[in-house]
Structure 1
Amino acid sequence: MRIGFAGTPVFASTALQALIDAGHDIAVVLTQPDRPAGRGMKLQASPVKMLALDHALPVLQPRSLRLDGKYPDDAGAARQALQQAAPELLVVAAYGLILPQWVLDLPPRGCLNIHGSLLPRWRGAAPIQRAIEAGDRETGITIMQMDAGLDTGDMLLEAALPIAPDATSASLHDELAALGARLIVDALAAAALVRRPQPADGVTYAHKIEKAEAAIDWRRPAAELERRVRAFDPFPGCSFELDGVTHKVWRAEVDSSASGQPGEVLQAADGRLVIACGAGALSLRQLQQPGGRRVDVAAWLQSNPGLAGRRLATPAA
């Protein structure tokens, strides 16, 4: 099939590689403009762009697709290029730009989205993180016929995936990326797919992860904070303040046998750092100091002695 593809991160490039391997004719690839990244803040191409260039595929990088928006020249050029490429269908995976109606209407077979949840649960920008944060036991991939709403289109194909008790957003992302790649290939190979409207019940929204959410509020239950630590790995990472310095927490375990005032350091010796929470306590296992790397708690404690009995601050309400 002659298709267009729109995507930006590794989640999307995994699907694009699968479509290439399946022998589809990729007429055009849309991805986000190059962004500054790394310590040198040099412009860096997206994983989708790098893969597309490796396969000599035509790449479009408009800043917007809205003809009446801030960058009408970008949108107009993209529209002309898409019309010339004439894809039968557009596959979309974590693209990062809203598709206006003219894009949805352009391919004769419409636009299919690879969404990282079992819709209608976790519509929106951060379905992987929010599923872990909420303590969901499973998630999955939905192949959806796109419409003008926010992940509201009819479902074509779904596959579930259990969420491991120790899953992070990084590990679950990789599992879902592989599943999404397989499912979109299956969807395009199917002789016919039944379109099913999404149920009206069970709708939840996976709001974008904000950096402000990173600060650990020790007044929250330990189980909730442990899930958030995993959900925010690798971005933005959970953190706490110690003597005005921000430290990140990358792995933690619930200690239901310990208790104290929220933020109280109950133990800081023998390779254990246990902090009281609103319910139970959190045993921090892997941390990171500014400018450093992730280390186990024993190594971190060597650089931060004498914490037992201290009270860690909680974010302002």
Structure 2
Amino acid sequence: MTDLRIAIVGFGKIARDQHVGAIAAVPGATLAAVASRNASLPELPHFATVEELLEKGPPIDAVSLCTPPQVRRAQAATALAAGKHVMLEKPPGTGVAELDPLIAMARDAKRTLFATWHSRYAPAVEPARAWLASRRIKSVHINWKEDVRVWHPGQAWIWEPGGLGVFDPGINALSILTRILPRPVFVTAAELDFPANCQAPIAADLKLTDIGGLAITAEFDFRQTGPQSWDIVAETDQGQMTLSRGGRIMAIDGKVVADAPDQEYRELYRRFVKLAVTGASDVDLAPLRLVADAFLLGRRNIVEPFVD
């Protein structure tokens, strides 16, 4: 089987830090081109837009869309119409309904549409899922707080409509939550803090539950300084399970039982290569639905303006 020839569309921090190295490390995947208005990679063909890439670029089989979510739907539709497989960075879009036409396009064209949730591939997530499956879960708390100036410097799009604000990292926690819990969950209440000069929240507190009434709370904050927090704690009838470092480390009653190096993006591309062999798609919208419901149900509080 020949390698899956992939073009990265949108060449910002996440593409440089994660996607390039992951593609290079995965057998069966080759980085063939870059499409970006503002950045390029030495020795690779470069184009300003996905349209120019498809018209003038080298032969490719797939695109990996790392652009801001506000423009991904149109780019994905263009790529699918050209017969390419499509990987979507998270979140897959700015709304839930806009994914349905893309799913139908991919199905009709027998091409892969892969909506990625990289945090689900953190090394301790599957051990946590397996451990919780045989326990009675009493409560779950998410503490997901980071410094936006460190992780999203100068990225104005994140504060615009569809940029998600603090839910850009927060959706990572929700992607893990919806993977490790045995039953679907839904939002019951939310408090959203919007800076006076922004269209997306800088902090959020959520209450969620499942059909059995499980108590789930989540705290998201973009204003954290010093140590960063990416933790999920589940209280069960057989002890406390803690996922920390964004799903990298799992501990039971404080004792570490799973810890491994981060290979999240390599696992994404292994999955993408495998899906593309048959043209199958993988589009789980559960985390995005929770964020959408948080906006629907959320009480909006105006806080001090944000200055990057």
Q: Report TM bin, short chain.
A: 0.3 to 0.5
TM norm structure 2: 0.38
TM-score, normalised relative to structure 1: 0.37
Larger radius of gyration: 1
Flag the structure with more relative contact order, 1 or 2, with Cα contacts below 8 A and sequence separation at least 6: 2
